[in-house]
Structure formats: C-alpha cells, structure tokens
Chains A and B, each alone.
Chain A
Amino acid sequence: MNLLGTWIAAGLTIAILSFLYRDNPLYKFAEHLFVGVSAGYWVIYIWAFDVKPMLVDEFFRQTGVEKWLLIVPAIFGVMMMMRWFRGAAWISRWPISFTVGIAAGLALTAQVQGYIIPQIQATLRPLVSIGNNTSEAINQSINNVVIFVGVVCALLFFYFSREHKGALKVGSKIGVVFLMIGFGASFGYTVMARISLLIGRLTFLLQVFGIR
C-alpha cells in the first residue's frame, strides 16, 4: 500500500512538472485532483476538529446557560451558508460582518502594540554606539546609521506633497536604492525557496527511481 502511494505521488509529481513543457491533460488531471482532495480534506478536518468537538460535543457536555449560548455560533454558521441561495444570500452578511469586526478589532491593537511601536522604538537608536568592545561598537554604530538613513530616505521617496527637487530628490533617490536592495533580498530568498521545492521533489523522484 505504501509502495503504491509512493508511485502515485511520483506519477503526480511528473504530471505537474510536465506543465513546464506545455499545458496538457495529465497536468490538468493532477491539478484538479489536488484541488478536489484538498477541499475534501478541509471539509472532514473542519468537521472533526471544529464543528464536532467545539459545537456538537460541547452542547451535550455543557450545562446551564453556556450550553444554550452555543446556539448563537450554530445559527451564525447556518446564516453563513445562506450565500448558496440567491434570494437569501444577504443573510450571510451578518455573520461576515461579525467576523470582520472581530478581526479588525483584534488587528488594531496587535498592529499598534506588536508592530508600529516596537518598530519605531527599534529605529530610534543612538547613531554613535559606545561600548567596551570597540569593534562591536563601531559595527553597531554603522548599523544604526544605515537604519536611520534607510528609514528617512525611504520615507522621503513616499513624500508626494512636494515636487522631488534638490535635497528631496537626492534623499528620495537614496531611498529608492534602499528599497531596491530590500526587493532584491526578498527576490533572492524567493528564488532560494523555489529551488528548495525543486530539490525536495527531485530528491523524492530520484529516491523512488532508485538513482539516489
């Protein structure tokens, strides 16, 4: 059974890779199979790890008011599924607005507390670092200057209230260099990630065919 599964996986991998040559029925089959299996898996998983333990089982386990409170998310769940019926689709907006409201509320504090303030704090550093270890202090000072210049110049690039001339133009040009370095690093990492996936698949295929 394990061997059969391995060969199916190898066959499907080759079917997907065949797209690199051109679109073909084998690729289409593998793609549709993946989408279908994933969707089916999600349904089973949501039932087994969400609806059943947290709603159905909890309803029979709980006593008192908490038991009846579970009816509220159950009704919201049913309302969400009204999207499938054209005449009643508007009902789904209620639970959607509820989840959007929760997400927005949670994100607001998280963004301020966990992103904006710590990142501003990390940017406001002394340009000259002093310490017992001279070389470390020099390295730290260089880092802090780079961060300062990078942040200020990148912000200048996005300052559109005045025409970019003179000092503003110079600053924004330096900002573009910093942005490009950032994009380049991201792209480099992305290339590495994609090659890693290829390495993973080729290693698997070579093992299946007994070459490695």
Chain B
Amino acid sequence: MKLLDRLANIDRRLIFLTIGFVVAIPIILKLKMPIRISSEVRSAYETIENLPGGSVVLASMDYDATSAPELTPMFRSFLRQCFRKKLKIVYTGHLAIGLPLAQFDLDAITQECNAVYGEDYINLGYRPGYTAVMIGIGREIRDFFAVDYKGVSVDSFPIMKGVHNYNDIALIVDFAHGSAAEYWIQYVVSRFGVKMFACVTGVMAPTLYPYLQAGQITGIIGGLQGAAEYEMLVGQPETAAFGMPAQSIAHIAIIAFIIFGNIGYFVMKRKK
C-alpha cells in the first residue's frame, strides 16, 4: 500500500526528470526506428510532385521559435522537394518573429540546392493585416508586396513576372502553429479555389482533419511524426526522423505514468 500511495502522489519533478532522461538517452545513443508513411503526408508530398516544373508555390511562415522543432524540419524538406522539382517559391508570412527565424533554413537550403534569389525563390517579408493581406493577394500581390524584404521592387525579379494573384499561384503551403492554416483555408482556398496543404504543429493538426476529410486541403503534415514521414519521403532524414525514437519512448513513459497514477488513485480511493 505504501508503494501505491507513493505512485498516487509522485513528485512532479521526478516525472520531469524521468521524461528528460527518456528523451535524452535515445538522442545520445542515436537510436533509429522505422517510420510508416501516413496517407495525409503522402498526399501532401504528391501534391508537390504532381506540379509541373516552374509552378509558383506560396510558402507562408506562420510560426515562431515556440514551435520551431516541429515545423523547421518540414520547411527544410519542403524546400528541398520544391527546388528538386524546379518549382518557384514565394516566401512570406504573418508572424513578424517567424520570418527571420525560418530565413536561417531558407538560406541554408537555397545554398545547398544552388537556388538563385529572384529566380528560384523570393522573400517578400512580412506585412501586418493577416486575413486582409490573404484576401488582398487575390486581387494583386503588389498591393501589399510592392517590394521584397530588402526594399527592392518585386518587378525587378524574374520570378515575379506574370505573378499577380492566386490565378498565378499553383499551391499554398502554410507552416503554422496557430489558426493561420484555418484562415488560409476559409479566406483563400474556398474563395479563390487555390490548392493548399498545411504543415502544422501537433496541437493544431486535429483541427485540420475535418478540412482534409472535406477535400478543402490536399494533405496535412502534423507534428514531429508528420515531419519525420515527410523527411523520409523527400529522402533526407534529419532532426525529425532522428527525434522519433525519443518521442516514442517518451510516450511509453507518459502512458506508464498515467496507468500507475490511476492504479494508485483507484486503490487509495477504495481504501478510504
């Protein structure tokens, strides 16, 4: 009974420490595990694969440092896939702090893929207004983004020739940790009929499944699991795929804590 009493009242710091250990050990030992590809991630991947070369893809960075471990691997894989397919990327976003953060990875992958600024991709920077900007691009992108993030006229870049509104954009990919993906679907996809898939945090993923079920989006890459699957599909496993063993073992530990805690709780309750 003493053991059960302890189980029912485990010090939360002990739980933190245990979780810390079970996460750190697989990372240190560089454990690997097989990753099964889900239909929603494969569908997102195939959306890009099916685009003809030279198509323009709008990437919206709607996340910041608080969700970077989940979304950064997705963004890196997305860039690799797009540049491999010779697609053009228009980079923008609605979180002022998120854009420069993701730019570290943009710079790294463009260098790796030998992508040329202004021809293969462009950074339009940030504009406030959220939904107003999303809808406004449907009329003319230059109404909001007359210049790129360095203040250079977008008309001076070959990538922007003939790109005026959603008619000229083949796909929107939103990297979001909040409601931005839902805004894109509700304000843009439904109104302008442009294709979209969402790369979101685990917290946001369940809210997007109804949109996938309804056919409003073509795929969901959700959380670290989704990022790991996408990395495997693109063929360059990185932080997400290597983080999955730690993720799985941590889940087992949490489930064990929940079971032990509940056993202790119910036994103590019956005793009283």
Q: A53-B146, A113-B186 are in contact. Are A122 and B243 (CB under 8 A)?
A: no
Chain B residues closer than 8 Å to A191, beta-carbon distance:
202, 251, 254
- The answer to whether A106 and B243 have CB atoms under 8 Å apart is no
B216 at the interface (CB under 8 A from A): yes
- Whether A86 sits at the interface, judged by CB under 8 Å, is no
What is the bound-complex CA distance between A159 and B189, given in angstroms? Answer: 32
What secondary structure prevails in chain A residues at the interface with B? helix
B16 and A114 within 8 A (CB): no
> Are A119 and B214 in contact (CB-based, < 8 A)?
yes
Inter-chain contacts of B97 with A (CB < 8 A): 38, 41-42, 45
Q: Does B246 contact A (CB under 8 A)?
A: yes
CB-CB nearest in chain A for B216: A118
A177 within 8 A of partner (CB): no
Tell yes or no: B161 within 8 A of A by CB.
no
Taking CB atoms, residues of chain A closer than 8 Å to B28 are 206, 211-212
Looking at the assembled complex, report how far the CB atom of A59 sits from the nearest CB atom of chain B, in whole angstroms.
Answer: 13
Taking CB as reference atom, which chain B residue is nearest A106? B131
B139 at the interface (CB under 8 A from A): no
Which of A111, A115, A189, A212: most chain B CB closer than 10 A? A189
Give A115's nearest chain B residue, CB to CB.
B186
Q: How far is the CB of A54 from chain B (nearest CB, A)?
A: 7
- Which residue of chain B is the closest to A102 with respect to CB atoms? B132
Distance, CA A111 to CA B70, complexed state (A): 28
Given A113-B186, A182-B206, A212 and B30 contact (CB-CB distance below 8 Å): yes
Contact (Cβ within 8 A) B96 A21: no
B70 — which chain A residues lie within 8 A by C-beta?
Answer: 193, 196-197, 200
Q: Please, which residues of chain B bring their CB within 8 A of the CB of A133?
A: none
How many residues of chain B get a CB closer than 8 Å to chain A's CBs? 59
Chain B residues within an 8 Å CB radius of A38: 97
B residues 215-238 in Cβ contact with A at 8 Å? 215-216, 222-225
B243 pairs with A203, CB closer than 8 A: yes
Indicate if the CB atoms of A45 and B126 lie closer than 8 Å.
yes
Cβ contact of B135, chosen from A46, A106, A203, cutoff 8 A: A106
Q: Which residues of A contact B213 (CB under 8 A)?
A: 122, 147
Selected from A110, A118, A185, A195, the residue in CB contact (under 8 A) with B206 is A185
Tell which of A102, A114, A122 has the most Cβ of chain B within 10 Å. Answer: A114
* Residues of chain A lying within 8 A (CB to CB) of residue B224: 192-193, 195-196, 199
A3-24 with Cβ < 8 A to chain B: 20-21
Quick one: closest B residue to A34, CB to CB? B65
A118 touches B96 (CB 8 A): no
A201 adjacent to B126 (CB under 8 Å): no
Question: Does residue B13 face the partner (Cβ distance < 8 Å to A)?
Answer: yes
Given contacts A53-B147, A182-B206, A201-B69, contact A195 B250 (CB under 8 A): yes
A88 interface contact, C-beta 8 A: no
**Chain B residues within 8 Å of A182, by CB:** 206
Q: Is the CB of B202 within 8 A of A196?
A: yes
Flag whether B194 is at the interface (Cβ < 8 A). Answer: no
Q: Is B27 a contact partner of A106 (Cβ separation < 8 A)? A: no
Known: A196-B201, A196-B223. 13 other contacts (CB 8 A): A20-B13, A50-B127, A107-B131, A110-B131, A110-B187, A118-B214, A189-B202, A192-B202, A192-B225, A193-B203, A196-B69, A196-B202, A203-B242
Question: 9 shortest A-B CB distances, which residue pairs?
Answer: A200-B69, A114-B186, A193-B202, A122-B214, A114-B190, A196-B224, A45-B96, A189-B202, A110-B186
Q: B interface vs A, CB < 8 Å?
A: 13, 16, 19-20, 23-24, 27-28, 30, 66-70, 96-97, 125-128, 131-132, 135, 144, 146-147, 149, 151, 183, 185-187, 189-191, 201-203, 205-207, 210-211, 213-216, 222-225, 239, 242-243, 246-247, 250-251, 254
